[in-house]
Amino acid sequence: MRMRLAAAGLALAISLLFTSPASATPASPDPQLQQRHRFDIHVQPLNEGLRLLAMQSGVRILFSYDVAASIRGRRVEGFMSTEEALRRLLQGTELKYSRAGVGVLAMHYRQPASCAALSAAASAASPAIRDSTVAMRRGSADAACR
């Protein structure tokens, strides 16, 4: 069971890595994100805060457990929309979210402009150059492009 969860998490992380946030966002607003709920989420590791936000709002949130466990989430308390609660929870972190479907959110790192340019150049390059770029990003440059 634990191996299946790890494999599913790895598959999700890989798919989120190669999915553009703009392409994952539906054209119309998601009514589930605009619904108001009562939230009571204390300061804690972000993985637990995201889990509670999902339980209290009914939306699904896709995220890397290991990354979120190393980040502290902010306190979210009161009656507000799911989107506002998520913004408050993520405030001060390097994470942002995109819509991955109706009632589904995907978490990812903010990319500095230089990383976005590197990704665009890599996707337009030949396969040999693309492979080199991917290998470079896995190295020390990867930390700057999260």
pTM of the model: 0.60
Q: Are residues 36 and 93 in the same domain?
A: yes
* CATH number, residue 26: 3.55.50.30
Q: Are residues 65 and 103 in the same domain?
A: yes
Question: To which residue do tokens 């009632």 refer?
Answer: 103
Which residue numbers in the chain have pLDDT < 50?
18-26, 126, 128-146
Give the pLDDT score at 62.
94
Number of folded domains in the chain? 2
**Distances, alpha carbon 71 to alpha carbons 35, 62, 106, 111, 119, in Å:** 26, 16, 16, 17, 25
The DSSP call for residue 102 is: T
- List, for residues 73-86, the tens digit of each pLDDT value: 999 999 999 999 99
**Distances, alpha carbon 54 to alpha carbons 6, 37, 66, 117, in Å:** 20, 11, 17, 33
